[in-house]
Structure formats: C-alpha cells, structure tokens
Chain A
Amino acid sequence: MKKPVYIISGLPRSGTSMIMQVLEAGGFPIATDGKRHPDESNPKGYLEIDSIINKLKDNSDFIFNFEDKVVKVIAYGFQYLPSGNYKVIYVERDIDEVLDSMEKMMGAKDESRSGTQKAFIKLNDKTKTDINKREDMDVLFVNYNAILSSPKEHLEEIHRFLKNKNLDLEKMVEVVDEKLYRQKRMK
C-alpha cells in the first residue's frame, strides 16, 4: 500500500495556511515550492504548491509526488484527486469571515456577495459529502474559529489524528498563540 498523502483542505481563506504552519512547527514535512511569497494576507507564507489545481487537472498523479508529506489542496481541487491513500484535515471557518478575508485579499468589495456566499457554501458541503463517500480518505474536520478560541484542545485532536508522526504539540500550539497575540496587539 502506498504511503498516505496528507491533505490540508477547506475553502480558500478558511485557515488552511495556519494549519500548514502549525504542522510545520510540529515537525511535519511540508510540500511547498516557495513560489507564493508571504504578503499582508498571509504574513507567515502560504506553504503551498503554486497552481496545484491546474497541475492536478493536467495530471492527477502529480499528487503522488507528495507521499508522506502534507500538501494544501483547497476544496475545489478535490475533484481532481485520483484514487489513493489520503489523510485529510478539512478546515472550516465562519463563512462571513471567509468572504471578508477574500474581499480584503482582492482589495475590492464583492458586489455579488450573496451569490458568492451561496456558491461557496455549496462547494463546501459538496466537498465534505464527497470526502465522506471516498473510502481512500481518512478525514478529520476542524474549525478555525474553534481552534482560535481554545488552541490546545483542538490541536490535540489534530495531534491524535496524526499520532504516528510524533509531532511536537507544544510548538504547534505556539503558532496559534502567537497569531492570537499579534491579533490582540493590532486591536
């Protein structure tokens, strides 16, 4: 049996980058090409493979370059994942926060926000349903807002889910604590 590919997924701006940072801090090998540099929307970096959805669309086996590593594939990319062996952490976040964050990143107000909201809620639900139907995916659903409200409790769940990786839980929690500290200072 192939080694699992570990996938971090969710809607864009749902906290997938934070989970990647948490896992990297814990000692998990991260799949990143470093092409997308840190910016105001993600000051600690995106930790992703550039255009991964397009790459998977062209050749779905591309995903097997990341066996035993953790790679970010946002929800829309799931349709291109071939049969394999996956462990998935799927992140959810309050949909209004997701949309606010998208607007901030695009630097423009979404004039058809209710349509965008409807489309992304459907994408989120469809992806979760599809993941649950797939026998090659072991999934843990986590919530970004819950992680920020009680980091240790929720990161312990992730730690348990990845127990064979022997990650450093304290360092994982530090990433979220630092984020919360920065947020408080900015208020």
Chain B
Amino acid sequence: MEKEFENVSIPTILYKKIEEKIKGSETKSVASYATKVLRESLSKEELTEEELSKEDEEKVKERLKALGYLD
C-alpha cells in the first residue's frame, strides 16, 4: 500500500517562525500550514498558465459594467 504522507525537512528557524505565526489561528500544525501554502502555490502556478482569454475578458467587462465600475 502506498504511503499517504512523506517527511520534508525545513530549517528550524523557519519552523519556529511558522509555529509563532499559527499560534491561536485555525491552522493546527506546521505541517498543515506548509501543506496549505504549498497547495496554494502549486494551484497558483497551474492557474497562471491559463491566460485571460478574449471571452473571459468580455465576461469580466460585462459584469463590471453591470456593477457600475465601467462605462
């Protein structure tokens, strides 16, 4: 059976900074925080590969006009 998790090493100083940052927040552990940030970073890279098409831009402009942000 394939392992569900793997270990990754990060500098102790960074680990401590993250521990400090998540104190009192909804993120319960450094591992959860790192997973969340890495997921966001990967999805951002995937999404930015997709450029705003002409059709997307028209959709945005149509909405902005309806909301009063564009004449």
Contacts and interface: CB of A to CB of B under 8 A. Distances in A.
B2 interface: no
Chain A contact residues: helix, strand, loop or mixed: helix
A119 B60 contact: yes
A125 B55 CA distance: 16
A102 B63 CA distance: 8
Contact of B67 (A106, A123, A149): A106
Contacts, number: 57
A119 B52 contact: yes
Interface residues of B, number: 22
Interface in B11-67: 25-26, 44, 47-48, 50-52, 55-57, 59-61, 63-64, 66-67
B57 to A, nearest CB: 8
Contact of A116 (B47, B63, B68, B69): B63
B45 to A, nearest CB: 10
Contacts of A74: 64, 69
A176 B55 CA distance: 37
Nearest to A39: B68
Interface of A: 12-13, 36, 51, 53-54, 74, 76, 102, 105-106, 112, 115-116, 118-123, 125-126, 128-129, 149-150
